[in-house]
Amino acid sequence: MKVRSLRTRMGATAAAAAAAGITMVYAATPAAAVTTQYVSDNCDYRNCTEGDLYMNYHSVASSGNGNPSGSFAAFYGNQYNHAGETISYNGTDAGTVNYVFVFASGQGDGSGQLVKNNAASANNCSTVDGYRVYYNSGYAGHSQSIPHYWSCASSTNLDATLKNNNASSHFA
């Protein structure tokens, strides 16, 4: 299992997380607090197999021709909210983690930034699955198919020219 979760400075990320609409829940005693982890791949904590939807910070000059420069994040399966998700492993605060999605560190432009509404293109590297990116969380709003008909090494530009365009994704 890869270990690729990121930890960035707590102050900046707490503010960023709040801006992204992630509720930080704290119990009365700090020892039992919910923790936050910054990840750029949801397979870091889910039991995933291969075949991911890549969300890229930058767009490409034309869809279907290579990858953009800069950073990216990867998702397997259905993701209700590209801001992140809260998982309660055992029903207690100590057993609850807020996962916040950020673009991978050390990958140039966009590294460490929040993924939600901040991606410009996407790749589908699955050998079997199609994906749809939705423009609102909870699989709502306009959606854009990112099929696996194209090579994994070619990105598709997302519909919106301004960022503010990716908030959830689902197997298609």
Q: Which of residues 18-47 bind other proteins (CB under 8 A)?
A: 21, 23, 25, 42-43, 46-47
Rounded CA separation 30/14 (Å)? 16
Q: What is the DSSP string of 22-54?
A: PPP---SSGGGPPEEEEESBGGGTS---S--EE
Q: Which of 15, 18, 87, 92 binds other proteins (CB under 8 A)?
A: 87
CB of 105 to other proteins, least distance (A): 6
Measured from the CB atom, the residue of 13 and 42 that comes closer to other proteins is 42
Answer yes or no whether residue 94 interacts with other proteins by CB under 8 A.
no
The SS3 assignment for 10 reads: helix
CB of 98 to other proteins, least distance (A): 10
Q: Which of 14, 33, 48, 94 binds other proteins (CB under 8 A)?
A: 48
What b/e string do you get for 60-81 counting C-beta neighbours within 10 Å, with b at 16 or more? beeeeeebbebbbbbbbbebeb
Answer yes or no whether residue 91 interacts with other proteins by CB under 8 A.
yes
